Structure formats: C-alpha cells, structure tokens
Chain A
Amino acid sequence: MVVMVFASVVFGLGSNFIAEKPLPLFKALAKPVPVAGAVSFTEADADFVRQLGSDPGTILIDARLPELFDRGHISGAISLPLSRFDGLISERMAQLQAARLLVVYCSGWSCNDSYDLARRLWDKGFKNLLLYRGGIEDWLEKGYVVAR
C-alpha cells in the first residue's frame, strides 16, 4: 500500500511539474481572470445581494440549468439559464426592463455562466448589471439559506 501511495505521489507531482499549466501546490486556485477587452461588471458580495433581495426594483438572475435552480436558488431569483437565453429572453424582456438593477449569479467562483449571461444581457441593452461571482457556492458558505 505504501508503494502505491508513493508511486501516486511521484506520478501526481511529476505530471504536474511537467504540465504546461501546473497547478499551484499548497495555494488556492486562481480566480478566473477577465479576458482583455471584455466588459467589466461591478461585482456584488453576498451581504449586498442579500440586502438587494428585498428591493422590489432588483431582479436576481440565476444563470444555471433549471434542474439546479429547482434544487436551490437565492430567494426571489428568477431562472434564466445561459444555455436557453435565446429562447427565454423575449418572454423575460418586459420584466427585466422594468427592473432598476439586475444581479446575475451561477454556481460559484469557478463557473463563468454568470459573466457570460451578463454579457449577453449587456448586448441586449441592459447596462444596470451587477455580477455576483461567488454565486451559490459563496451564498452557502456565508450560511444563507436557499429557496426551492
């Protein structure tokens, strides 16, 4: 068993060492870096999103798949999956246009759906956007409950 573990450590660290983009050892994963020339959105944190949740002029938008939305979302959020944006945006247009502020989120730090959805909304003319990059992951880490 010791040989197996030793071989795995050697191969695991060795393959990482020769990898084109090695993972950092004993360091947190880097957060996604915005692409040069991309639209930069103001980011919101969990506490701010929580305050905004009670504001009738704010709409929280969940960019994840509907199945994930059904299993738990931030209370008051609406589902607008990035993958179904083109099909759903027309029926959501009036509702979104009536909002003063749109806050977009997805699963967490490692997902890009919130940014991509915000970018699609930006292209549709919505400039009143906030990005909650921490998403559900950060929301749960803060101990806030999700609605089902």
Chain B
Amino acid sequence: MLWPDRITNVLSSRPLQILARLVLGGIFIYASLDKIAQPLEFAKIIKNYHVLPDFLITLPAMILPWLELFAGFLLLSGLWTRSAASLLSVLLLAFILALGVNAVRGIDVSCGCFSTSANDTENAWVLIGRDLLILLPGLLIIFFGRENKNS
C-alpha cells in the first residue's frame, strides 16, 4: 500500500473520526453555553473586536452561540457531520480573521471563546494558534469523514 493511501486510511479511520467529532463538538457545546446565558456580555466582546458596525453587533451575539450548540450536538450525534464541521470551521476561520486583524493592530481582545468575561483577555496570536489547533479536527472530518469517502 502506498504511503498516501495509508495516511488516508488512518485519517479516515472510524476511531479517529469519532475522536475528532467528540473533540470539536464538545468544545463548541461548552463554548456556546456561557454565551447563550449572557448574550449582552457576548455582544460587548464582539464590539471590542472592532470588525463590525455598531448596528450589526447584537445579531451575531444572538445567533452564533446557538449555531455552535446545534452544530456541536450534530457532531456528537453523528448526523450531518460534514455540514456541521464545515460550518464550525467557517466560524473558526472568521474568528481567526477577526483575531488576526486585532493582532496586527496590536490589540489584545477578550476572545469570547469559552467565557463572556471581559477580563478573559489573551494575546491575540496565542488565540489564533489555539483556534488553528481547534480547526484541525474540523478539517479532518470535512476531508476524511465517512460521508466524503463515497462522494
């Protein structure tokens, strides 16, 4: 068997796919809970990113946490896993972009990733690194998930 085939087999193996779904789903379900409970605090954090006009801040504060929760549950349940992983990966890329804008500006923002505390401020480059790591299981599901094998 060729090396690329072996790597593909490993990456698309059921245990690794389940692990990726559990990790990604679990992270996003956990991340959504505080934001759903405190939408105002999450809206303030979005405002501090300085990437959206003021009138557009509350809409993502209401919707994004639910999106994270539903997509997380779908990953855990094994339903529509590639769609859920794609959506969460797009969200992660959007967060990375917003963090990148602030990193270039030299601003350390409260990321609002796992908590809505304004004091949960971290270096933007560290947060980008963390988000890139979280992106990995998403990419694993999108490109090597079972739904993809027969397509």
Q: Measuring CB to CB, which residues of chain A are less than 8 angstroms from any residue of chain B? A: 1, 4-5, 7-9, 11-13, 15-16, 19, 21, 23-29, 65, 67-68, 71-72, 107-111, 136-137, 140-141, 146
Contacts and interface: CB of A to CB of B under 8 A. Distances in A.
B106 interface: yes
B57 A29 contact: yes
Nearest to B41: A110
A65 B117 CA distance: 14
B-side binding surface: helix, strand, loop or mixed? helix
A103 to B, nearest CB: 21
14 contacts: A1-B83, A12-B65, A15-B62, A15-B66, A16-B62, A23-B39, A23-B40, A23-B61, A26-B56, A67-B121, A68-B108, A68-B121, A110-B47, A140-B105
Nearest to B105: A140
Contacts of B64: 8, 12
A110 B57 CA distance: 13
B143 interface: no
Given A1-B87, A111-B118, A140-B107, A23 B80 contact: no
Contacts of A12: 62-66
B39 A16 contact: yes
Contacts of B48: 107-108, 110, 137
B3 interface: no
A24 B62 CA distance: 10
Contacts of A19: 39
